[in-house]
Chain A
């Protein structure tokens, strides 16, 4: 049944969306968007190194993204202007990665696949990796859920409860590297951060609890990946960018609904007072 490439692609997309949802929410809550970017962009360096060393792309990306994420974590909170520093690191990682890839002969044609993803080429082996990665991330975040939330609200509040905010940050860092590694095939390094942030941001107006936001983000993410896949098939457009475009359209619609709802609430409350 997994012989159909469209089915494999759809499953891969849903797997990545499920892993990205809880993590994406934390990226939004903790204002780590640029952090996600830097980690994702470093993945191209991982691709180059794996090709040079003839190792598995997945492993290379995982290691390099993890190193990048740890480096950024270490540098944060040491008096650097974080957005500047992350901007430098995100784009340098991308540039160095692209330069490194050019040293590897014969992959120039494949570069687009790494930058924008190649979901239609997902094989059974990739599917196993994606499923494993998604399960790992969901288990990690689920296990640390309460501590992560407390540390996100306030570091000292967490410490007073015996939680180490640094250790929780490490859980997120590790999960981020795993998501980058599994999402590479689906949307590519340039658009991974979008898959993290957009569904979470679109879900925000409709949720009263963090758990609800993760759930809604997962639904929006899964709908965007499967919908984008179909749209790309009909329109003959690149799949990764189509998926992200669809997610962006959903985000705009959600924002419009939210704005309309607020207007209505304000109008009805001014009716009452007048």
Chain B
């Protein structure tokens, strides 16, 4: 049985149909990336999966006992709320000190436990959010543009961490991203969304598909060339200079 099975899903927000005819199956341990232009319903789909939104039609079946870890786009914490990282990781349930420390280590920030949430940089905060999601021991990890506001280095590091998490925990990952070039490398499957599923498949197939190119413009060919080039290299040795080039291309692609 798949972790999650979505069948002809329709979501309506404020009288407007945001998602229509969505079919999606998630299996154990796979990394699936949602791409799509602004307003294409990527975040809406994630929020429907976590139960924040109620579908107007269709079926959404979670495998019984499925645990979901959710990493939002960003955490807008009010400066008047004092909160240490440890206290945050104990919300809403108390965790053992060991579990907290292990989750922080898994997210790549073992040194942050006594820091104030407010004082963290954007990248640190995303990793703390990742640690909190990992504490759930999730079968499925949902990431909503988790690298928004991070620089190229930070983004690449973050996705390497995600791959490591999958390797260590075996959880499935469904993520929304704009950083096509980076994400393509880590994804088993890409789903291109524009209120409906335009196309899906392996990263290469999606990049080459006419539906994808119609959405993101003809420059996507450059991203594809970059992706192939990058794919041949060892994953952990991508130089910052190359990441820069890739970012320039994907910016052109999404414009």
Q: Is the CB of B82 within 8 A of A154?
A: no
Q: Is the CB of A146 within 8 A of B93?
A: yes
Name the one of A31, A159, A209 contacting B50, with C-beta atoms under 8 angstroms.
Answer: A159
In this complex, the member of B77, B81, B84, B93 whose beta carbon has the largest number of chain A beta carbons within 10 angstroms is: B81
Closest-CB distance, A244 to chain B (whole angstroms): 20
Given the interface pairs A146-B91, A157-B72, the reply to whether A209 lies near B51 with Cβ below 8 Å is: no
Question: CB-defined interface of B60-85 with A at 8 Å, one 1/0 digit per residue?
Answer: 00000000111010011110111110
Name the one of B69, B72, B82 contacting A204, with C-beta atoms under 8 angstroms.
Answer: B82
Chain B residues lying within 8 Å of A146, measured Cβ to Cβ, are 91-93
Closest-CB distance, A254 to chain B (whole angstroms): 13
Chain B residues lying within 8 Å of A200, measured Cβ to Cβ, are 80
Complex CA distance for A157 and B72, rounded to whole angstroms: 7
Closest-CB distance, A258 to chain B (whole angstroms): 12
Closest-CB distance, B118 to chain A (whole angstroms): 11
Q: Does A152 have its Cβ within 8 Å of any Cβ on chain B? A: yes
Q: Does A29 have its Cβ within 8 Å of any Cβ on chain B? A: yes
Interface residues of B, count at CB 8 A: 24
**Which residues of A from 119 to 155 have beta carbons under 8 Å from B?**
146-147, 149-150, 152-155
Q: Does B254 have its Cβ within 8 Å of any Cβ on chain A? A: no
Nearest B residue (CB) for A161? B92
Complex CA distance for A212 and B116, rounded to whole angstroms: 14
Given the interface pairs A163-B92, A208-B116, the reply to whether A156 lies near B87 with Cβ below 8 Å is: no
Closest-CB distance, B147 to chain A (whole angstroms): 18
Q: Does A28 have its Cβ within 8 Å of any Cβ on chain B? A: yes
Complex CA distance for A212 and B4, rounded to whole angstroms: 41
Q: Does A160 have its Cβ within 8 Å of any Cβ on chain B? A: yes
Given the interface pairs A154-B76, A156-B52, A160-B70, the reply to whether A149 lies near B82 with Cβ below 8 Å is: no
Q: Does B185 have its Cβ within 8 Å of any Cβ on chain A? A: no
Q: Is the CB of A204 within 8 A of B80?
A: yes
Closest-CB distance, A152 to chain B (whole angstroms): 7
Interface residues of A, count at CB 8 A: 29
Chain A: interface secondary structure?
helix
Given the interface pairs A146-B92, A159-B50, A159-B51, the reply to whether A154 lies near B75 with Cβ below 8 Å is: yes
Complex CA distance for A18 and B47, rounded to whole angstroms: 38
Q: Does B88 have its Cβ within 8 Å of any Cβ on chain A? A: yes
Chain B residues lying within 8 Å of A208, measured Cβ to Cβ, are 82, 84, 116
Chain A residues lying within 8 Å of B87, measured Cβ to Cβ, are 209-210
Q: Is the CB of A209 within 8 A of B91?
A: no
Q: Is the CB of B78 within 8 A of A29?
A: yes
Q: Is the CB of A209 within 8 A of B47?
A: no
Chain B residues lying within 8 Å of A30, measured Cβ to Cβ, are 78
Chain A residues lying within 8 Å of B77, measured Cβ to Cβ, are 153
Nearest B residue (CB) for A148? B92
Complex CA distance for A227 and B84, rounded to whole angstroms: 33
Closest-CB distance, A28 to chain B (whole angstroms): 5
Q: Does A71 have its Cβ within 8 Å of any Cβ on chain B? A: no
Nearest B residue (CB) for A157? B72
Name the one of A153, A156, A163 contacting B81, with C-beta atoms under 8 angstroms.
Answer: A153
Q: Is the CB of A209 within 8 A of B72?
A: no
Question: CB-defined interface of B34-67 with A at 8 Å, one 1/0 digit per residue?
Answer: 0000000000000100111000000000000000
Chain B residues lying within 8 Å of A20, measured Cβ to Cβ, are none
Closest-CB distance, B244 to chain A (whole angstroms): 31
Q: Is the CB of A31 within 8 A of B78?
A: yes
Q: Does A201 have its Cβ within 8 Å of any Cβ on chain B? A: yes
Complex CA distance for A158 and B51, rounded to whole angstroms: 10
Q: Is the CB of A147 within 8 A of B80?
A: no
Given the interface pairs A156-B52, A160-B68, the reply to whether A209 lies near B92 with Cβ below 8 Å is: no
Chain A residues lying within 8 Å of B51, measured Cβ to Cβ, are 159-160, 162
Q: Does A44 have its Cβ within 8 Å of any Cβ on chain B? A: no
Chain B residues lying within 8 Å of A201, measured Cβ to Cβ, are 80
A-B contact pairs, 26 of them (CB 8 A): A28-B80, A29-B80, A30-B78, A31-B78, A146-B92, A146-B93, A150-B91, A153-B75, A153-B81, A154-B75, A154-B76, A156-B47, A156-B50, A156-B52, A156-B72, A158-B92, A159-B47, A159-B52, A160-B51, A160-B68, A163-B92, A209-B83, A209-B87, A210-B83, A210-B87, A213-B82
Residues of B near any A CB (own CB < 8 A): 47, 50-52, 68-70, 72, 75-78, 80-84, 87-88, 91-93, 116, 142
Sorted from nearest, which 10 A-B pairs have the closest CB atoms?
A160-B70, A146-B92, A159-B52, A160-B50, A29-B81, A150-B92, A207-B82, A150-B91, A28-B80, A209-B87
4 more contacts with CB within 8 A, not counting A153-B77, A157-B75, A204-B82, are: A31-B78, A150-B92, A153-B75, A210-B83
Residues of A near any B CB (own CB < 8 A): 28-31, 146-147, 149-150, 152-163, 200-201, 204, 207-210, 212-213
